[in-house]
Each structure stands twice: as C-alpha cells, then as structure tokens.
Amino acid sequence: MHESFVQRISSILCLGYKDKIWGTRKRGTVVGRIANASPVEGERYYLRILLQNIRGPTSFDSLKTIQGKYHDTFRDAAASLGLLDSDNSLEECLEEASQYQMPYSLRRLFSTILMYCSPANPTKLWEKFKPHMSEDFRRQGYLSEHEIEIKTLEGINEFLETLGRSLKEFHLSSVPMNLFDSDKFTKEYNHERKIEVSEADLLSIEKLNDDQRHAFNIITEKIYSSSSGTYFIDGPGGSGKTFLYRALLADVRSRGYIALAVALLV
C-alpha cells in the first residue's frame, strides 16, 4: 500500500483514539492492526471487510473497483465480491468482539446485527455465541441452564425493543417468547405505579381557569364513569394546554389509576 493511504485508513478506523500518536512503520508498508467495527457503523464496517479481503489496495477508489467496475459505496463493493452472501463477516465480527467485549456489549452487538444486517442464519449465530453472551449470568452460579438462556434472551429482546423490533421475529430458541411479553407488561405496570404526583401538579387543579375547568370536568367525568371518549384540546401557544394536561394526569394518578402521556404524530 502507499504510505499516505495507510495513514488515511488508520485515521478512519481508529476514530476515538485522538490522544494516540501514529508513527511511520519501521518495516514494510502494511496495516498491522485494524480496529474493530460494528455493523451499525455502516460504511466504516464495510471498509474494514474490504481491507481484510483485498490485497494491496492503493486508494479508496481501488477498494471500490471490483473486476474493473467501480462501486459508489464500500457496501456495494463488498456485496459484489460475495462477502455479504453468507454470515461469515458477521461471525467474524462477533468472534473478534467476544475476545474483549463484556457480555452486555455482546448482546447489544448481536441485537444490532439482527436489526440491521439480516443474517441468513441468526439461529446459528445465536447457538455459537450464546456462551459468550451469557457469561455474566453463568458466573452467578445459582442459575440453571434454562434460566441462563432466558435471561440472555431477555437482554437481547430489551435492546431490540428499543429499536422497534422483537425477538419473536427471529425464532432463535425454543423458549416461549410470550414469557417476555408478560415480563415487559409487569415492568411497564410497575413503572407507571411508581410515578409520584408532585404537590405542584395537584395544586394546579385548583388553579384552572373557567375554560380549562370546563374541559377538565368533561374529561374526568368520562374517565371515572368507565365510558370511552376522545377529546381534542386546541388553542394557541401559551393558552394553558400543557397546564391542563398536567392537572388531568395528576388527578387520575392520585386516584390510583394509570395515565399514559404520549405524543401523537400526524
């Protein structure tokens, strides 16, 4: 490789190590060590795959040129070489990460791979790296193999849920996935029950103006009569809509009910 290209590659693959100093290699002109990259990093990850499989590139363009055809992205170049046709690159990524990453980080990486990389055989990856991803639970010493597997899957499922997906979609294990649904419901239920209503919010009920009080009475009457209803509060900014919402939430929660405040995207 040309020395300048090696230095540029080093700067890309070693982002986050700005306090380090790079020196000219004493012998040869090759990259001796390449930092790990996660699939969620996109082009940086595919650049790393190409560097591991193409000998003697002289520039970024040469990495993107496969059999005389230039590709716009590193991903397209990797795909044209057949490097994405199997799960080999994903397996190598997990293999390398398992050597230094903590189990928690491995579960997050595995979730990212499921979400963004569409592995051809996710079950195979799960079975191979399950011991690494469950090592922290295994060290507790009092859990059975079944309990360890459930806790590991729960950890993966929590990451997937933050990304809008569910472990049910991937069929990794024979463990019933509805176990996680009940667990998720319990956590959300307990979280809502633990919300403390501030004294200021409770006092806001007494400070409602006539229009706010009118809306407050209509809505709470529906709530406590166990009948359904939908209401739209409209008004310019600063007219007290948020003040009314806080009063409603405080009143409902102070009576032991669960109230969910959500944003509606239109």
Identify the band that residue 146 occupies on the pLDDT scale cut at 50, 70 and 90. Answer: confident
Per-residue pLDDT for 237 more than 60? yes
Mean pLDDT of 177-194: 60
Q: Is the pTM of this model over 0.75?
A: no
What single DSSP character describes residue 141?
S
pLDDT in tens, 87-106: 787 888 899 899 989 999 99
pLDDT score, position 256: 82
Which 3 state secondary structure label does DSSP give 169?
helix
pLDDT in tens, 2-51: 556 666 665 665 554 556 666 666 666 665 667 777 776 778 888 888 88
Task: Count Cβ atoms within 10 A of the Cβ of residue 172 and give its class: 0-12 exposed, 13-18 middle, 19 or more buried.
Answer: buried
- Average pLDDT value for the chain: 80
Q: Hey, how many other C-beta atoms are within 10 angstroms of the C-beta on 212?
A: 21
Per-residue pLDDT for 134 more than 90? yes
pLDDT score, position 227: 80
Identify the band that residue 179 occupies on the pLDDT scale cut at 50, 70 and 90. Answer: low
DSSP-assigned beta bridge partners for residue 65: 70
pLDDT score, position 131: 94
CA 23 to CA 176: how far, in whole Å?
54
Give the closest residue to 257 by CA, choosing from 192, 204, 210.
192
